[in-house]
Structure 1
């Protein structure tokens, strides 16, 4: 019988994360989460177990509250890049989770690259 969408998503997320951890070196992880209504991103130091910078469509200051579209993803990508550079982070590895690198996830990644993050 075919696997459910959720099972495929979880399998893809583990596969992506394990491959990235092997190649990560000493870089921080830029983790993306997308729901049906919001999108959020965190830059995580896995060694220390803390979040260095984050941005979300739930933040009223960004003006994209409750939006989950390409424009909101671009704004969030640029914001997290600005906050990461303020925290002294330039090199990260992009953990897309189980989400396909297409649409909103790609727009967020491109905006973060334009903002000065390297991955």
Structure 2
């Protein structure tokens, strides 16, 4: 990578961060999809780096973000959402993650009862 390309990347990073900071002025959190589809079936030779994850912008800007399981899609494959917060506000992201995790939690008691009654 040339020095010019590196400096251009740093400039673009600053612009992306400023744009997201502007969006976050009007919101405590953003809730986004972490993936554009259900999780792919694991296979020999699968390339996880090729899966379309939506975390990249926040990895670049440094905004705190976490993904939380959010139920199941086609074929029973897991789905997830992503919570994004303001810079240095990890506490709010973690609290929201806890709320969503509880909201999307499977009822393990019901599942155990269904397993034993079958």
What's the TM-score, normalizing by structure 2? 0.29
Q: Counting helix residues as a fraction of each chain, which structure ranks higher?
A: 2
Instruction: Please give the TM-score of this superposition, normalised by the length of structure 1.
Output: 0.29
Higher gyration radius (CA): 2
